[in-house]
Structure 1
Amino acid sequence: MDLLRWTLIFLVLALVAAVFGFGGVAADFAYVGKILFFIFLVLFIVSLFFGRGRGRTL
């Protein structure tokens, strides 16, 4: 969940930078936040796929 937290931090920083008129910095923060979100999404789906059989042991 730490990766998701960093994603939200970068997106909030992008919004703050956009409010203060720093368009280039805001775009950079948004780009990094978007990349982190997609990395989080891929890792989450992989963990769901490979962690399915661990809960049921007979």
Structure 2
Amino acid sequence: MLYWTIVCLVVAIIAGVLGFGGIAGAATEFAKILFFIFIVLLVISLIANVIRGRGPKV
């Protein structure tokens, strides 16, 4: 999911540089939504690992 966030961000930057304001705005908003979903899933995963008592795999 983080991959798609980065792809949308790159598309937004390229579209912004080329002057496609509407496409850049839509891609930016989509990237923001994916980024926040990724952050929420990360926090849930961290909390679940703390509750289970598991540390990171080495």
When normalised by structure 2's length, the TM-score is 0.87
1:35 aligned to which of 27, 30, 33: 33
Structure with the largest fraction of helix: 2
The 1-side partners of 2:53 and 2:10 are apart by 36
State the 1:15 CA deviation: 0.2
Q: How many residues get paired?
A: 54
**Identity in percent:** 44
Listed as ranges, the gaps of 5+ residues in structure 2 are none
Instruction: Please list every run of at least 4 consecutive aligned residues from structure 1 whose deviation after the TM superposition is greater than 3 angstroms.
Output: none
Once the two structures are superposed, what CA deviation does each residue of 1:1-58 show, in whole Å capped at 9, x if it has no partner? xx111100000000000011000000000000000000000000000001122426xx
Match of 2:11 in 1: 13
Listed as ranges, the gaps of 5+ residues in structure 1 are none
